[in-house]
Amino acid sequence: MSYHIVIPARYASSRLPGKPLVDILGKTMIQRVYEQALKADALSVTVATDDERIIEACEAFGARVVLTRNDHESGTDRLQEVAQILGWHADDVVVNVQGDEPLIPPSVINQVAHNCISNPKVSVATLCEPIHQYGDFVNPNVVKVVRAADDTALYFSRAPIPWPRDDSQQLPSMGAFRHIGIYAYRVGVLNDFVVWDSAALENTEKLEQLRFMVGGKAIHCAESCELVPGGIDTIEDLKRVRELMGEH
């Protein structure tokens, strides 16, 4: 299976400054993510950053790292710059692995890449998982997705969808799904993304994947083959991950 992995890593973080370089049992977080990515079947793994401190840390443990501009609005923009710098073709597939997910399963990376490669009518692939708690269903920080029978996404929202009209205190009987923020893209659609204006729906929901949908690009969204532990956004998340890794 031919695809590339890019790990965007920003030093600045309002809730956890210097997040890529925090220590997790003797290794930086970015090294933990990079080592998980190496276990997948990608042709290459590259860290993309705009910070010299992250470059130095990555070079110290032997990672391939690319310096990108510091004015990108999103990781997707940074991904496109890496594809351009490395000369990848429009039909090449690249997986965006978040730099704050040191427990990302390699099988999930392979799954989302395979789904993009094997579905030529889509330009983007991502994943989801069932929502089991009503509190998550109504939480705007938990992004929901509804899908067609062929696993193409119909819509992503911070709102609880599909809404159970007749019993609003329960999860919908047909099932509710949380979007998992891992993506596989064809490089050509990344080139489109960076020249499109941001979409009204994207700005309203604060969900950049809606720019692809407004642009008429189908997004494949399958149920994840394996549980994906949450990423690290706060000190509490960092403590949780350290404890999980310590147990293993």
Q: Using one digit for the tens of pLDDT, what is the confidence trace for 163-206?
A: 999 888 889 988 899 999 999 999 999 999 999 999 999 999 99
66 domain-assigned = yes
Average pLDDT over residues 11-16: 74
247 domain-assigned = no
Q: Using one digit for the tens of pLDDT, what is the confidence trace for 33-66?
A: 999 999 999 999 999 999 999 999 999 999 999 9
Q: Crossing angle for the helix pair 52-60 and 29-38, nearest 10 degrees? A: 50
Percent of the residues in the chain that have a pLDDT greater than 70, as a whole number: 98
Domain that holds residue 58: 4-242
**Nearest alpha carbon to residue 58 among 21, 5, 83, 85:** 21
Q: How far is CA 139 from CA 61, 100, 146, 213, in A?
A: 39, 21, 16, 23
Average pLDDT over residues 133-140: 93
Provide the pLDDT for residue 14: 66
Report the domain count for the chain.
1
8 domain-assigned = yes
184 domain-assigned = yes
Q: How far is CA 128 from CA 98, 121, 145, 147, 163, in A?
A: 15, 19, 8, 10, 18
Between residues 4 and 18, which one has the greater pLDDT? 4
Statement: residue 104 has pLDDT above 80:
yes
248 domain-assigned = no
26 domain-assigned = yes
Provide the pLDDT for residue 111: 98
- Among 68-77, 79-88, 93-102, the least confident range: 68-77
Residue 113: CATH number of its domain: 3.90.550.10
Provide the pLDDT for residue 247: 65
Q: Give residues with Cβ within 8 angstroms of 124, minimum separation 6.
A: 116, 183, 184, 185, 186, 189, 209, 212, 217, 218, 219, 220
**Average pLDDT in the chain:** 92
Provide the pLDDT for residue 153: 97
Average pLDDT over residues 96-114: 95
Q: 145 is written with which tokens?
A: 């997705």
Contact assessment for residue 211 and residue 199, using Cβ atoms and an 8 Å cutoff: yes
Between residues 229 and 79, which one has the greater pLDDT? 79
Average pLDDT over residues 99-126: 95
Q: Using one digit for the tens of pLDDT, what is the confidence trace for 215-244?
A: 999 999 999 999 888 788 788 888 888 888
199 domain-assigned = yes
Q: 106 is written with which tokens?
A: 């390699």
229 domain-assigned = yes
Q: What is the DSSP letter of 232?
A: -
